[in-house]
A = this chain, B = another copy of it.
């Protein structure tokens, strides 16, 4: 399995505190030693730092922990391989362009018998993971449903992704985080939670390493920051736990909408 981390914020915000906690799970407090990656959106552009080395000892992860890249949307993943060898091409997040935006995605879980139902033509996976195949299938399904131009209203797009995710969930465990650089969506199969921090800000203490932050010192009163994670990263705050089949859509740190999907068949999409 793996661990997911994502952020949506209304001002460019660095994720050093949360990533420091996550990276410990890549070999110190957790067994996720088979690579890691993090995608930062800055405007429409993004950049992904990846390493097949464990996050707890990676030189690139050290850079991320010491160099505060400020971003409104971040997606990160540390990997414990199940399907696909420990190689860079199997390391999340995965990115593809759709409708003139970079879409990035990471998955926690495992799918079975997915090749035929998740077959794609236009978006093909580069590595060997079920995760990347599911991402390609999601994007190809969006093109099939909405065409070559982005709809003006993006909410129906994410509602449709929730339906598609519910179909994928029938093939196994499918916790995922996904963004086009503006919206952050998550979908829960069995393990996903989030917290939205806003004024009055307090202090937070990481569970995985002995670090405390006083957000009051680091923020302005108007800041709104949502963090999504597989398991809570801090021990002294209340994290919202998602239900199986539940999804949430965030923008600029705020919850826009969400719902709970029923398990559904894969016959049509």
Contact = CB atoms under 8 A, between A and B. Distances in A.
A131 B65 CA distance: 33
Contact of A43 (B47, B49, B88): B88
Given A63-B59, A97-B126, A89 B148 contact: no
A45 B123 contact: no
Nearest to A100: B124
A238 interface: no
Given A45-B89, A63-B63, A87-B45, A148 B121 contact: yes
Q: Is the interface of A mostly helix, strand, loop or mixed?
A: mixed
Contacts of A59: 63, 67
A263 to B, nearest CB: 30
Interface residues on A, range: 35 or more
Given A59-B67, A60-B63, A148-B122, A87 B43 contact: yes
A170 interface: no
A262 to B, nearest CB: 32
Given A47-B48, A63-B59, A121-B148, A88 B42 contact: yes
